[in-house]
Amino acid sequence: MSITVGRFAPTPSGKMHLGNVLCSLLAWLSARSQGGKIILRVEDLDTERSNWEFQRQIEDDLLWLGLTWDEGGVDADNHRYCQSRRTDIYLRYFAQLEEMGLIYPCFCSRAELHAASAPHRSDGRFLYTGTCRNLTPEEVAQKRKLRPPAARIRVPDREVAFTDLHYGPYTENLAEECGDFVVRRADGVFAYQLAVAIDDALMGVTEVVRGNDLLSSSPRQIWLHELFGFPPPQYGHIPLLTAFDGRRLSKRDGDLDLSRLRTLYSPEEIIGMLGKAAGLLDEYRPISAENLISYFDWKKIPLEDIRLPENFPERLSV
Query: Which position among 86, 210, 237, 276 is part of the footprint of ligand GLU (CB under 6 A)?
Result: 210
Shortest Å distance, C-beta 88 to ligand GLU: 21
How far, in Å, CA of 311 to CA of 248, rounded? 16
Residue 152 binds ligand GLU, judged by CB under 6 A: no
Q: Which of residues 8-37 bind ligand GLU (CB under 6 A)?
A: 9-11
Burial of 205 (0-12, 13-18, 19+ CB in 10 A): buried
Q: Judged by CB, which is closer to ligand GLU: 24, or 276?
A: 24
Number of residues in contact with ligand GLU, rule: CB under 6 A? 7
How far, in Å, CA of 268 to CA of 67, rounded? 12
Query: Which position among 43, 59, 172, 180 is part of the footprint of ligand GLU (CB under 6 A)?
Result: 43
- The amino acid at residue 1 is M
Q: Judged by CB, which is closer to ligand GLU: 186, or 214?
A: 214
Q: Judged by CB, which is closer to ligand GLU: 9, or 194?
A: 9
Taking each helix axis from N to C end, the angle separating 192-202 and 87-99, rounded to the nearest 10 degrees, works out to 100
Q: Judged by CB, which is closer to ligand GLU: 180, or 199?
A: 199
Q: Give DSSP secondary structure letters for 11-32.
A: --SS--BHHHHHHHHHHHHHHH
Cα-based torsion angle of the residue sequence 99, 100, 102, 103 in order, rounded to the nearest 10 degrees:
-10
Under 8 Å between Cβ of 194 and 90: yes
Residue 196 binds ligand GLU, judged by CB under 6 A: yes
Residue 257 binds ligand GLU, judged by CB under 6 A: no
Residue 82 binds ligand GLU, judged by CB under 6 A: no
Q: Judged by CB, which is closer to ligand GLU: 184, or 210?
A: 210
Shortest Å distance, C-beta 10 to ligand GLU: 5
What do you get for the CA distance between the two ends of the chain, in Å?
Answer: 38
Shortest Å distance, C-beta 248 to ligand GLU: 12
Q: Judged by CB, which is closer to ligand GLU: 10, or 149?
A: 10
Query: Which position among 89, 165, 214, 293 is part of the footprint of ligand GLU (CB under 6 A)?
Result: 214
Residue 135 binds ligand GLU, judged by CB under 6 A: no
Under 8 Å between Cβ of 238 and 209: yes
Under 8 Å between Cβ of 66 and 23: no
How far, in Å, CA of 214 to CA of 41, rounded? 17
Backbone angles phi, psi at 209, to 5 degrees: -115, 125
Binding site for ligand GLU (CB under 6 A): 9-11, 43, 196, 210, 214
